[in-house]
């Protein structure tokens, strides 16, 4: 399995200075040592704000170098939304001092800050072809749903871990988004009823990448719902679907006939020594090509049907015996009366 490995190292720092001018408010952070960082996570007591910030770095506080300019941090909380974007992400840097300039007339209520270095070793992914893409914008009727819908199918049932939505609009936006898949269908006389399973729920925003990650799930149909509220629907150009590439690694003593079986959920999970030593595996492994797949019928269902068939047979026989016995008793009583 080649899923991404994420390591996060938090840097120790001190709030070296805090000041205000007519241009806004300044916070200066001093690290214990100039180690690489690429993210600062901020937390505010303020609930509704929209601020532009400038982030600078310095080795000695005499000369400052811009890291982020016209960067936007945002928070909204009301009956419809509860969303915050206050993480500063930037290219890796190694300054001793970081100065944050927030452009606002009111003093921010900064409650905490974390200076981090996040390293992601991306896993191997496989992109899947998207078929039957249909995009339905929010209906204009106020009495109908306020959601836009994006539906599509995949060529077959495949393991999906990530969906990227390509939004054409360049306006600022933040809206709830839900990604779901059909798990089963209940058929009735009128129209089929679909049961859904949610893969991801969160927010699609112009402030963040439109990449949505969720636990790997085998799917072949997907629907994306975007809550537009009173806004015009976003224009979706396309979507991209991908899943991590999984590998099955085994140790074999020699030549022989090996069978890879799957699909029986009632079987116990096997335990092998190799599971405990995955980090010691050689980087150069021999590839094994599987032969022709052979599908076997679900014998458990056949046994169940046979079992219930026998039960029904015994029930019918018992009913027949009871009816015959009842007629026999009635005839005997009738004969006794005539005698």
Give the total number of structural domains in the chain: 2
Task: Supply the pLDDT for residue 4.
Answer: 65
Q: What is the pTM of this model?
A: 0.68
Domain ends where: 227, 244, 261? 244
Instruction: Answer with the one of 225, 244, 263 that is the final residue of a domain.
Output: 244
Does residue 172 share a domain with residue 75?
no
User: Are 138 and 229 part of one and the same domain?
Assistant: yes
Q: Say if residues 2 and 247 touch (Cβ distance below 8 Å).
A: yes
**Are both 156 and 187 inside the same structural domain?**
yes
What letter does residue 206 receive in the DSSP assignment?
Answer: T
pLDDT level of residue 337 (50, 70, 90 thresholds): low
Judge whether residue 1 has pLDDT over 50: no
Q: Is residue 94 part of a domain?
A: yes
Q: Is residue 140 part of a domain?
A: yes
Q: Are 273 and 160 in contact (CB under 8 A)?
A: no
Q: Which residue has the higher pLDDT, 148 or 143?
A: 148
Q: Are residues 70 and 154 in the same domain?
A: no
pLDDT for 319: 79
Domain extent for 225:
125-244
User: CA gyration radius for the chain?
Assistant: 32
Domain annotation covers residue 270? no
**Cα angle 36-67-6, degrees, rounded to a multiple of 5:** 40
Q: Select the more confidently predicted residue: 187 or 70.
A: 70
Looking at the fold, whether 35 and 67 belong to one and the same domain comes out as: yes
Contact residues for 107 (Cβ-Cβ < 8 A; gap 6+): 20, 25
Look at residues 193, 225, 244 and tell me which one is the last residue of a structural domain.
244
Residue 169 lies in a domain: yes
Could you report the per-residue pLDDT of 107-140, keeping only the tens digit for each? Answer: 999 999 999 998 877 678 899 999 999 999 887 7
Convert the pLDDT of each residue in 277-327 to its tens digit: 766 777 778 887 788 888 876 655 555 555 556 677 777 888 778 888 777
CATH number assigned to the domain comprising residue 136: 2.60.120.260
How many C-beta atoms surround the C-beta of residue 193 within 10 A? 10
Query: Both 61 and 133 in a single domain?
Result: no
Task: Report the C-alpha gap between 283 and 144 in whole angstroms.
Answer: 56
Which residues of 168-235 form beta strands (DSSP E)?
Answer: 174-186, 193-205, 211-227
């Amino acid at each position: 399995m080649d899923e991404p490995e994420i390591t996060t190292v938090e840097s120790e720092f001190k709030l070296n200075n805090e000041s205000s001018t007519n241009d806004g408010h300044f916070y200066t952070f001093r690290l214990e040592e100039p180690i690489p960082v690429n993210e600062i996570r901020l937390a505010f007591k303020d609930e509704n704000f929209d601020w532009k910030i400038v982030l600078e770095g310095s080795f000695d506080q005499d000369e400052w170098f811009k890291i982020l300019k016209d960067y936007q941090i945002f928070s909204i909380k009301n009956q419809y939304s509860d969303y915050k974007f206050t993480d500063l992400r930037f290219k890796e840097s190694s300054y001793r001092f970081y100065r944050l300039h927030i452009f606002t007339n009111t003093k921010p209520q900064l409650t905490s800050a974390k200076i981090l270095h996040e390293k992601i070793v991306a896993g191997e992914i496989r992109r899947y072809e998207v078929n039957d893409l249909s995009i339905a914008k929010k209906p204009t009727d106020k009495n109908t749903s306020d959601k836009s819908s994006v539906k599509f199918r995949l060529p077959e049932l495949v393991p999906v871990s990530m969906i990227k939505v390509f939004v054409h609009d360049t306006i600022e936006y933040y809206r709830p988004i839900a990604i779901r898949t059909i798990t089963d269908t209940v058929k009735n006389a009128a129209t089929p009823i679909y049961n859904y399973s949610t893969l991801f729920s969160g927010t699609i925003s112009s402030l963040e990448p439109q990449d949505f990650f969720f636990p790997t799930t085998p799917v072949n149909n997907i629907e994306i719902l975007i809550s537009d509220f009173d806004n015009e629907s976003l224009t979706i150009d396309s979507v991209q679907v991908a899943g991590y590439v999984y590998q099955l690694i085994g140790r074999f003593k020699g030549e022989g006939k090996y069978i890879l079986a799957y699909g029986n959920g009632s079987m116990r999970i096997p335990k092998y020594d190799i599971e405990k030593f995955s980090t010691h595996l050689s980087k150069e492994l021999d590839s094994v090509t599987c032969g022709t797949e052979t599908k076997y019928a679900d014998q458990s269902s056949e046994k169940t049907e046979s079992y219930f068939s026998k039960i029904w047979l015994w029930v019918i026989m018992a009913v027949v015996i009871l009816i015959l016995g009842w007629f026999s008793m009635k005839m005997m009583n009738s004969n006794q009366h005539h005698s």
